[in-house]
Amino acid sequence: MAAKLIDGKALAQQIRAEVSGRTQALKARGVQPALAIIMVGDDPASAVYTKHKVNDSTETGLAATLERYPATMAENELLARIRTLNEDPAVHGILVQLPLPKHMDAHKVIETISPAKDVDGFHVASAGALMVGQPGFWPCTPHGCMKMLESIGYDLRGKHAVVIGRSNIVGKPMAMMLLGKNATVTICHSATQDLKAMTLQADVIVAAVGKRNVLTADMVKPGAVVIDVGMNTNDEGKLCGDVDFAGVKEVAGWITPVPGGVGPMTRAMLLVNTLEAAERAAR
């Protein structure tokens, strides 16, 4: 029996509707939630992503501005601009689109953003809050994954989750969130020896490597939940994930598609974080 789809696009629409309602409530109190997006350079993918983020914000009533700077911008100029936005009470969220030009230290740039406005959830203070279960901003992609698990009523308590991908953006935060729900978590990567032995034990598999077909049907326990975070292109140039979708969907119990899975949820959680930043500032 084929796996059931976790429709990220439909769930994201629900979340955007909730954000829109809460945004209108804030506006009625005289507060306009606002997001500042900074893009340095002319990376084509970044241009597409930032355009979507601005459109998503506008559609839900958030005010979003996109500041574009040339790749030759000096790092100290970028840091100065971020500090100015930190001090602006009319700006509730700040997002610096990655990747940055090679002459810039992405870690230093992110750490310059005020934790109160770190709606991407990448600041070390946000990571620390996640680690100890304190209020903070969860990174958008793993937060979206957790919302997808929640949407199907999946109880993670006592389950074994395998996260394939050790990056600070997805892998490690995802593991912390799963642990917070009392799951047992194993973090792997594409070069893990006998990865198949690990994934066959898993009730939940999160694939976030950025490599096509890193997870195939023979690596999945029947009935497992598979969340595909990957963004790749196939031989025909079409968007695909890290999972061999055609094969794995015949074994898994639930699976996310690419496109239409984690991607829309990542963008939706950015809206949620921006709105929550505005709500906190208005208290």
- CA 32 to CA 29: how far, in whole Å? 9
Q: Is residue 276 part of a domain?
A: no
Q: Is residue 133 part of a domain?
A: no
In this structure, the answer to whether residues 103 and 206 fall within a common structural domain is no
The domain in which residue 34 lies consists of 30-114
Q: Is residue 45 part of a domain?
A: yes
In this structure, the answer to whether residues 71 and 145 fall within a common structural domain is no
88 catalytic? Reply is no
In this structure, the answer to whether residues 102 and 168 fall within a common structural domain is no
Of 53, 96, 91, nearest to 78 (Cα)?
96
Q: Is residue 132 part of a domain?
A: no
In this structure, the answer to whether residues 160 and 248 fall within a common structural domain is yes
CATH number of the domain residue 216 falls in: 3.40.50.720
In this structure, the answer to whether residues 190 and 241 fall within a common structural domain is yes
In this structure, the answer to whether residues 164 and 255 fall within a common structural domain is yes
9 catalytic? Reply is no
97 catalytic? Reply is yes
Q: Is residue 18 part of a domain?
A: no
Q: Is residue 203 part of a domain?
A: yes
Q: Is residue 250 part of a domain?
A: yes
In this structure, the answer to whether residues 253 and 147 fall within a common structural domain is yes
Please return the burial class of 151, using the count of CB atoms within 10 Å of its CB with bins 0-12, 13-18 and 19+.
middle
Of 119, 50, 112, 127, nearest to 78 (Cα)?
112
In this structure, the answer to whether residues 254 and 147 fall within a common structural domain is yes
Marked catalytic residue, from 53, 147, 172, 249: 53
Residue 2 amino acid letter: A
- The whole model's pTM is what? 0.93
CATH number of the domain residue 100 falls in: 3.40.50.10860
Q: How many domains does the chain have?
A: 2
Marked catalytic residue, from 56, 118, 120, 242: 120
Please return the burial class of 90, using the count of CB atoms within 10 Å of its CB with bins 0-12, 13-18 and 19+.
exposed
Q: Is residue 271 part of a domain?
A: no
Marked catalytic residue, from 56, 97, 159, 244: 97
Q: What is the pLDDT along the chain (283 residues), one digit of tens a residue?
A: 699 999 999 999 999 999 999 999 999 999 999 999 999 999 988 998 899 999 999 999 999 999 999 999 999 999 999 999 999 999 999 999 999 999 999 999 999 999 999 999 988 888 887 777 777 899 999 999 999 999 999 999 999 999 998 777 788 899 989 999 999 999 998 889 999 999 999 999 999 998 999 999 999 999 999 999 998 888 888 889 999 999 999 999 999 999 999 999 999 999 999 999 999 999 8
Query: Which tokens go with 108?
Result: 């230093």
Of 169, 156, 87, nearest to 126 (Cα)?
169
